[in-house]
Amino acid sequence: MLKDFFLLAARSITHRRMRSWLTVIGVFIGITAVVALISIGLGLNKTVEQQVSGVFGVDTFVLVPKGSFGPQSHAGGSSEQYALDLQFLKSIPGVKVAAAVRQRTGFVQGPTRADGTSTQGFLPVMGLSTELVDEFESFTGELTVQPGGRLFIAGDTDVAVLGADTAKRLGAKIGDSILVAGDDKKELNLTVVGIMTPSDEQVSTGSSGGFSAGMTSGQNKDTIYVPYDTMSLLWGESNDVLVTLVRTQPGADVDEVADRVQKELTARGSEISSITYSDISDAIGTMTTTVSAFLAGIAGIALLVGAVGVMNTMFTSVLERTKEIGVMKAVGAKNSHILTIFLIESGLMGFVGGVVGTLAGLGLSALASMFIGRFFGVQMAVVASPSLVLITLAGSFSLGAMAGLWPARRASKLLVVDALRYE
């Protein structure tokens, strides 16, 4: 019997083709918006996670100044730099490699020119652990130096790598010697071993974007890079660390090691917070979920408008078919039969809108992915999970049926005599 009711409902829909299509379009727009936004939201989440895990690796965590990450990051009072005993950090169980970046402003004097003059001034000096380059390439990205130069290698001390602008301003070439002065009249003559490639010439390679942009572009173009230990020779113990990267021993629980490191370093006066992959992933998850929910909420409004369209069409349909309903009742249809036929009819319109909308929504999110890929160089994943599709299809049928419930009830309650008299 239900199959026959489906047939009756389908006949009625196709009989009023124009109006049915317009109604379906209303649902379709709503469903398209919901599916596209959810799919894009999921894709974004997945992509960001992939990016983060590509950079971060699940065995790595970062130490940043206390309060600079997470919910309290805007509460104020956080310092930008912190003190760190790198040797002690390396000795904490579970830590395999640790590398830090520290920064000061120092007096710098460029190489003496032929006429006996030289450029001098105060410039930012950044100390990089040599492990940073060897072990954490995914963080630093492809730090590249201009041809003929090199980055730091283990054992380097009296060497420097210059930012492209700095080299120009100081008039320094590879092999030249520059003077850098630290605290307490400590000063070192450092040999320039490399000059950074200007950032606009650096090739962006997707997931390895990492820190390299920050290290070679913008304000850092006029920076002088020295090995971490050279920093210690000039300025003594560090209380000027910007960031520390830690890789754990194979098999160690990253979050556990991060907690331990944070506790032990805090006890020694380091004002730090640790950020693990799961912290970032949680933060991203919360953020993208919030954004997705917000967008889906907006799309929900479109869906609501679609549902009102179905309701309107069904009311019109009930009115138009009053006599037909009377005839069906006269030939033996129960109220429940009429109710079912009309619910199926509105549900079917919702369902068709759902099918078209799901396809269009997925198409739209694939298009968005292509667009993002082309203009931002990020390969965004298209998420078309079967559960999303199934839930949407079932949901769109129920949406239609629910929108049709009131008109269908009205149809089923019509008195047969009144319905037959209706002109």
Partner 1 sequence: MSLLNLKDVTKDYKLGKTVVRALRGLDLDINKGEIVAIMGPSGSGKSTLMHILGCLDTPTSGEASIEESQIRTLSESQLVALRGRKIGFVFQTFNLMQTLSAQQNVELPMIFQGTKKKDRAQRAVELLTKVGLADRVHHRPNELSGGERQRVAIARALANDPEILFADEPTGNLDSESGGTILELLKRLSEEEGKTLIIVTHDPDAAAIAERIIRLRDGRVVEEEVRNA
Say whether residue 323 binds partner 1 (CB under 8 A): yes
Residues in 110-169 that interact with partner 1 by CB under 8 A:
none
Q: How far is the CB of 349 from partner 1 (least distance, A)?
A: 15
Residue with smaller CB distance to partner 1, 265 or 341: 341
Matching residue, tokens 């010439």: 201
Cα–Cα–Cα angle for 244, 246, 252, nearest 5°? 155
Distance (Å) of CA 308 to CA 200, 245, 314, 402: 53, 55, 10, 10
Q: How far is the CB of 317 from partner 1 (least distance, A)?
A: 12
DSSP structure class, residue 147 = T
Q: How far is the CB of 330 from partner 1 (least distance, A)?
A: 5
Instruction: Tell me which residue of 180, 174, 162 sits closest to 121, measured CA to CA.
Output: 180
Residue with smaller CB distance to partner 1, 259 or 324: 324
Q: Which of 112, 117, 157, 335 forms a contact with partner 1 (CB under 8 A)?
A: 335
Instruction: Tell me which residue of 189, 186, 164 sits closest to 175, measured CA to CA.
Output: 189
Question: Residue 385 — φ and ψ, nearest 5°?
Answer: -70, 140
Residue with smaller CB distance to partner 1, 12 or 358: 12
Residue with smaller CB distance to partner 1, 370 or 417: 417
Question: Residue 149 — φ and ψ, nearest 5°?
Answer: -105, 180
Stretch that binds partner 1, among 12-20, 93-101, 137-145, 385-393 (CB under 8 A): 12-20
Q: How far is the CB of 25 from partner 1 (least distance, A)?
A: 22
For the chain, what is the radius of gyration of the CA atoms? 34
Q: CA–CA separation, 176 vs 370, rounded Å?
A: 48
Do 393 and 358 meet the contact criterion of CB atoms below 8 Å apart? yes
Q: Which of 286, 308, 334, 376 forms a contact with partner 1 (CB under 8 A)?
A: 334
* Amino acid present at 259: D
Say whether residue 331 binds partner 1 (CB under 8 A): yes
Bridge partners of residue 383, in order along the sequence: none
- Could you tell me how many residues of this chain bind partner 1 (CB under 8 A)? 23
Binding mask 336-375 toward partner 1 (x if CB under 8 A, else -) reads: -x--------------------------------------
Distance (Å) of CA 240 to CA 225, 267, 298: 15, 18, 46
Say whether residue 330 binds partner 1 (CB under 8 A): yes
Q: How far is the CB of 406 from partner 1 (least distance, A)?
A: 21
Distance (Å) of CA 260 to CA 138, 227, 273, 291, 346: 24, 27, 11, 33, 60
State the number of CA atoms in the 13 A half-sphere of 85 facing the CB.
Answer: 14
Residue with smaller CB distance to partner 1, 1 or 75: 1
Instruction: Tell me which residue of 228, 66, 58 sits closest to 138, measured CA to CA.
Output: 58
Q: How far is the CB of 336 from partner 1 (least distance, A)?
A: 9
Q: Which of 100, 234, 272, 328 forms a contact with partner 1 (CB under 8 A)?
A: 328
Cα–Cα–Cα angle for 133, 141, 250, nearest 5°? 60
Binding mask 291-320 toward partner 1 (x if CB under 8 A, else -) reads: ------------------------------
Q: How far is the CB of 412 from partner 1 (least distance, A)?
A: 11
Q: How far is the CB of 341 from partner 1 (least distance, A)?
A: 10
Q: How far is the CB of 332 from partner 1 (least distance, A)?
A: 3
Instruction: Enter the tokens of residue 326.
Output: 């009377």
Say whether residue 19 binds partner 1 (CB under 8 A): no
Q: Which of 83, 284, 327, 372 forms a contact with partner 1 (CB under 8 A)?
A: 327
Say whether residue 6 binds partner 1 (CB under 8 A): no
Binding mask 56-95 toward partner 1 (x if CB under 8 A, else -) reads: ----------------------------------------
Matching residue, tokens 């006996």: 116
Stretch that binds partner 1, among 53-61, 270-278, 281-289, 327-335 (CB under 8 A): 327-335
Q: CA–CA separation, 106 vs 162, rounded Å?
A: 14
* Amino acid present at 257: V
Q: CA–CA separation, 157 vs 181, rounded Å?
A: 15
Q: Which spans of this chain sit near partner 1 (rule: CB under 8 A)?
A: 1, 4, 8, 11-12, 14-15, 323-324, 326-335, 337, 416-417, 420
